[in-house]
Amino acid sequence: MQIDLSGKTALVTASTSGIGFAIANGLARAGAAVVINGRSQDTVDKALAAIAADVPGAVLSGIAADLSDAAGAARLTDAVPKADILVNNAGIYGPKPFFRIDDDEWEHYFQTNVMSGVRLSRFYLPGMLDRNWGRIVFISSESALNIPAEMIHYGVTKTAQLAVAGGLAKLAAGSGVTVNSVLPGPTLSDGVRAMLKGSAEEAGISIEEAGADFVRTQRSTSILQRLATPEEVANLVIYTCSTQASATTGAALRVDGGVVNSIV
């Protein structure tokens, strides 16, 4: 299968590193004009340079905007009036005891993980429907289905994303626009690397070994028994954005290494 997205503009949020960067890079390889987003111009510029080096001739642009509030989303939509493909990847996570998560932090998680995608879908979906072609992908998590006791606030926002995506898919019924969620399992992104650094140093092991320990002890149902790479996650997202994926909509697609013990 040859995925060709030339002529399409793809906006990938939070794409200066981690899973978002791998998705942006993969979409650029598939020929899409890609818009990168991160919180600072410096990280955006570095990501643009890295993709340009990897994909000669790629059509790239970048916008620094913090998507944890409406003003940041507006900065992005002002700069990028049209997108054929929207990947709502922006998301924060981290373990925290439930009893220490105050209202402000709950709100911050909801704004960053849920409202960022709501705001951008509200802006870009009408244009996709007018043109009768579009792809919206929410990067959720296996934590949407297996709510982790150590980060309940995160799990709640990831479940909420599934609800938004499912509703939007129905809203686009009968059109050439698909809306799906992709659910990664534990993935060795830059964020997870930072999360594992302390325990790896303490135990005198590599980050990869600490990752495998994490999967064995904290995600023991994993069939893969290791962290995925951002590229492995990105591959499913890129397929979901392809013209070939036209009959896949309203779906919650797992790339979780089998962590969620479910027959469907």
Catalytic residues: 154
Least Cα distance to 248 among 258, 239, 235, 259 occurs for 239
In whole angstroms, the minimum distance from the beta carbon of 202 to ligand NAD comes to 20
Name the residues that contact ligand NAD, by CB under 6 A: 14-20, 37-39, 43, 66-68, 89-93, 112, 139, 141, 184, 186-187, 189-192
Q: Collapse the DSSP code of 64 into the 3-class scheme (helix H, G, I; strand E, B; otherwise coil) and give the result.
A: strand
Give 14 or 83: the residue with its C-beta nearer to ligand NAD: 14
Give dist(CA 136, CA 162) in Å, integer. Answer: 12
In whole angstroms, the minimum distance from the beta carbon of 175 to ligand NAD comes to 26
Give 2 or 217: the residue with its C-beta nearer to ligand NAD: 217
Give 128 or 255: the residue with its C-beta nearer to ligand NAD: 255
Rg of the Cα atoms in the chain: 18
At 56, the amino acid letter reads P
Cβ–Cβ < 8 Å for 37, 25: no
In whole angstroms, the minimum distance from the beta carbon of 68 to ligand NAD comes to 4
Give 60 or 129: the residue with its C-beta nearer to ligand NAD: 60
Q: For residue 76, what are its two tokens? A: 């992005």
Query: Residue number with the shortest CB distance to ligand NAD?
Result: 91
Task: Count other Cβ atoms within 10 Å, centred on residue 92.
Answer: 15
**Residue with tokens 């896949």, as numbered in its chain:** 248
Give 148 or 250: the residue with its C-beta nearer to ligand NAD: 148
In whole angstroms, the minimum distance from the beta carbon of 176 to ligand NAD comes to 26
Least Cα distance to 165 among 249, 76, 77, 81 occurs for 249
Give dist(CA 64, CA 62) in Å, integer. Answer: 7
Give dist(CA 40, CA 14) in Å, integer. Answer: 10
In whole angstroms, the minimum distance from the beta carbon of 127 to ligand NAD comes to 22
